[in-house]
A and B are shown apart, each in its own frame.
Chain A
Amino acid sequence: MTVDAGKLSCAEFQAQLPELVGSGENVSAHPHLQNCDLCRALLADLETIAEAARQLFPSVEPSDEVWQHIESAIKKRRGKK
């Protein structure tokens, strides 16, 4: 039996959200959202968070000492062989 997606409760819709969002579907076109301000706001917030996270892409790097220690440890290990 097919459930009318527009008649889902908020709880039912939100239970489906991880899969809907994760599948890359256009969730904003979901029938439930046409009449539900709460879930529409929730989705907008989650999209805003995901977008903000993309701006956090690694910009820091370890100090040069890290590589020096790695090289030194590799040399020691080779010396033992």
Chain B
Amino acid sequence: MADSSSPTQNSNRTRSGRGASVPTGTNEGQSGTFTPVTPPHPIDGAVVLARAQAGDHEAFAELYSLHKRRIYSLCLRMVGNIAEAEDLTQEAFLQLHRKIATFRGDSAFSTWLHRLAINVVLMQLRKKGLSLISLDEAMEPTPDEGPSRSFGAPDLILAGAIDRLALERAIAELPAGYRLIFILHDVEGFEHNEIASMLDCSIGNSKSQLHKARLKLREALRAASRQEARP
């Protein structure tokens, strides 16, 4: 059962999460925590953001409700560990709380928040000894990590439907830079211009890295499929 002090999950999000209304509100309880309530009308996301920027804790709780799944999922896919992903989610939202007043609307809020969370994740990967010192490095996998060209391969056709677990495994095995781009574009639904803005790279670079990520996944899925077919 959900704790009453936790902001309610938003089950009505759009895939992009942008422009979504906020289906729940929160109320300050006697203990000073916020209890979710259902407002009579959807609250405009921009109004919630403006209130949170002005220091309204209830509005900040609503922002958390709106974005927690996407940020947590991104963290989880990047580090592959629930406890670590929760710590990173917490750190990302604490940084959001510290910096929210500096958001000027130059990009969509979701893009800005993802950029912030990505930096938190990359810092963690660096701490763990992975050579991901900056977003630029994450965007430039070493040459031996690049996908091979695929012409001349004998068995190109993948099964019509891809097994979800096999795909999740293959994504987890991708180099971090490819994984990040693939998650942001193909899973989260961000556009290349938004990803370029998040990662400080060119749109062309985003397209190229996504293509390489898909090629790597194809290789991995085909290898897994060949292994399964062995007697």
Give chain A's interface residues, CB within 8 Å of chain B: 10-11, 14, 17-19, 21-22, 38-39, 41-42, 44-46, 48-50, 52-71, 73-75
Contact = CB atoms under 8 A, between A and B. Distances in A.
Interface string B68-87: 11101110100000000110
B2 interface: yes
A53 B76 contact: no
B221 A66 contact: no
A41 B157 contact: yes
Contacts of A14: 149-151
Contacts of B217: 49
Interface stretch (B107-115, B117-125, B181-189): B181-189
Interface in B95-138: 97
Contacts of A73: 90, 94
Contacts of A62: 68, 72, 85-86, 89
B188 A57 contact: yes
A55 B149 CA distance: 27
B15 interface: yes
B218 to A, nearest CB: 5
- Name A's interface SS: helix
B211 A38 contact: no
Contact of A70 (B64, B164, B188, B207): B64
A71 B162 contact: no
B161 A52 contact: yes
Given A18-B210, A57-B189, A64-B6, 7 more contacts: A22-B207, A49-B162, A53-B171, A58-B74, A60-B73, A62-B89, A69-B90
Nearest to B182: A53
Given A57-B188, A66-B68, A19 B207 contact: yes
B94 A48 contact: no
A54 B70 CA distance: 13
A56 B162 contact: no
B64 A45 contact: no
A53 B187 contact: yes
A45 B161 CA distance: 10
A61 B65 CA distance: 10
B74 to A, nearest CB: 8
B187 A22 contact: no
B97 A60 contact: no
Given A42-B150, A45-B156, A64-B6, A53 B167 contact: yes
A66 B192 CA distance: 31
A63 to B, nearest CB: 6
B144 interface: no
Q: Which of A60, A62, A63, A71 has the most CB of B within 10 A?
A: A62
B93 interface: yes
